[in-house]
Amino acid sequence: MILARHAETGRPVEIEVEDGKIAAVRETARDPGDVWVAPGLIDLQVNGFAGVDYNSPEVTAEEMGRSVEAMRATGVTRFLPTVITGSRERMCGALRKLAAAREALPEIAGFHVEGPFISPDDGPRGAHPREHVRPPDREEFLRMQEAAGGGICLLTLSPEWPGAAKLIEFVAAQGVVVSIGHTGAGGEQIREAIRAGATMSTHLGNGCHGVLPRHPNYIWEQLAADELCAGLIVDGIHLPPSFVKCAVRAKGLEKSFLVTDATSPADCAPGRYWLGGIEVELTPESRVQIVGTRTLAGSALRMDRGVENLVRFAGLTLVEALRMATVNPARAMGWRDREGFLRVGDAAELVRFRWEDGRLACC
């Protein structure tokens, strides 16, 4: 039995759990003090955490377990390890290791493959290595899916490539969510991708050219597309608060969700780390960048800090911010067992926390 204040209503509740599901949510006269309860946080884009690089074919089950335990302490109960652009051997090797680790880690809901079918251009390509960017290839996707044990459930690609729409149709028909990202695509290419089955934008506002036309451009096109939900990295580094506020207003609360795009330096001290064979550094200012450059290489953001930032940057209530970190990503992925906010019958993935002076502390 879990006693806490319901994060949506503020009322004390007792939550009964049976067989991994929420069996009952009852209001109570018992006083839980200042302890609140909400659905566990969901992160759809995690390249690494607590010093562990999920893109390494050498990652061990022990390292993954340690990393997931550290992530759980930030309120995350479900996430997608994310494999970025690399050689065929490295990407498949990493997916095999992640698939093996998944058997013992229920927090891993599947895998997000971000690349290699992205823009080859500086800016949109971000930190992805140019030499490994390649055009959409159905057979390569199937090889990656085989390496992942069928666990790939989210694919990020750029629709600027000839043949991208055909791959989107094929992948979406397999039940995999397709997201537009790291792209220099034009408006018609984006609309063609949506018609083919793309339903998401990957870290909207990032993985872009440094300078864009006022209009049209691929940020506006994705903001205006009602069919697309959008992930946002709300660390104050990738996006300024004004963009976060405007993006949430444009997409609407139900179509926006929080991601961290965390890499191995997340939850670690400043220093040098690895991301898929690329050496990166975490600066004292919390930037993760390729060593010797200012190119961002993921983030050091934790989901609990991201929730706090949503409240501060976008003027959201705590409940609205929590929904962007729980219900909304579940809806974007079609995970029906997490589409409710403490709904009876949903998976009993819960987080208890305290909220004081704009800080969220899991307990």
Any domain includes 353: no
3-state SS, one letter per residue, for 171-223: HHHCCCEEEECCCCCCHHHHHHHHHHCCCEECCCCCCCCCCCCCCCCHHHHHH
pTM confidence score: 0.98
The predicted pLDDT at position 195 comes to 98
Any domain includes 172: yes
Any domain includes 359: no
Any domain includes 354: no
Cα–Cα distance between 349 and 18 in angstroms, integer? Answer: 12
**Structural domain harbouring 158:** 40-337
Any domain includes 19: no
Ordered mean pLDDT values, 10 residues apiece, the chain (363 residues): 96 97 97 97 98 96 97 98 98 98 97 98 97 98 98 98 97 98 98 98 97 95 98 98 97 97 98 95 97 96 98 97 98 97 98 96 95
Residue 130 burial (CB < 10 Å; 0-12/13-18/19+)? Answer: exposed
Q: Is the peptide bond before 162 cis (omega within 30 degrees of 0)?
A: no
Q: Residue 262: give its domain's CATH number.
A: 3.20.20.140
Any domain includes 2: no
Measured at the alpha carbon of residue 155, what is the angle toward residues 273 and 148, in degrees to the nearest 5? 75
With beta carbons less than 8 A apart as the criterion, state whether 199 and 230 touch: no
Active site residues per annotation = 261
Any domain includes 291: yes
Number of domains in the chain: 1
The predicted pLDDT at position 69 comes to 98
Any domain includes 361: no
